[in-house]
Amino acid sequence: MISIDPVTLAVTSFAMVATASPFVYYSYKLKKLTTANLASFEEFSTSNNAVPTQHERWRNHYHLGLDCQSKKLVYHRFGSYPEQSIIDLNEVNKVSIQEKSHMIHVGKEKRHILEYLALQFHFKDSSHSPKTVEIYDGELFSDLAGERSIAEKWQRILEKNLKSPI
């Protein structure tokens, strides 16, 4: 039988708790933030008579939802500059992807760096200026985490809903 020194057991236990506590704290904090963001999104949707059936959240910063019945898109951007908006797809003519990028030279190689990515809504009423909803901002995030595919996917979904009858 192996005997364990009580002091060694106490020091080892303390070290394990000290190592695990930041991860537990971050997990708790992230879950609390996610729950608050989701509650805010649902409250805004309900107050605008929209019941989104398709959702997508990414980076704990953006949330899109589509109510296929009433043809309303609900958009939320959280963080330092929050935005909430509802777009009635019955008033939209076309959805396009808006990109802003710049080119840098690294030796003999040229690289395109994406600065901004958004869905842009063009309305049937020409006096109504286009509306953009941000998908990615290079000022906030240093890398892409699938935002281009998210933008393309939602453009296809929204274009399909624009063509379908009411």
For 16-35, how does the pLDDT look when each residue is reduced to its tens digit (9 = 90+)?
Answer: 988 989 998 889 888 888 88
pTM for this prediction:
0.78
Arithmetic mean of pLDDT, 68-76: 90
The pLDDT tens digits of the residues spanning 90-134 come to: 898 899 999 988 888 888 888 888 888 999 999 988 888 999 999
pLDDT at 166 over 60: no
pLDDT at 2 over 80: no
User: Helix or strand or coil: residue 147?
Assistant: helix
Confidence category of residue 165, pLDDT binned at 50, 70, 90: low
Please tell me the predicted confidence (pLDDT) of residue 1: 61
For strands 83-88 and 92-106, give the pairing. unpaired
CA–CA separation, 80 and 33 (whole Å): 14
Average pLDDT, the chain: 87
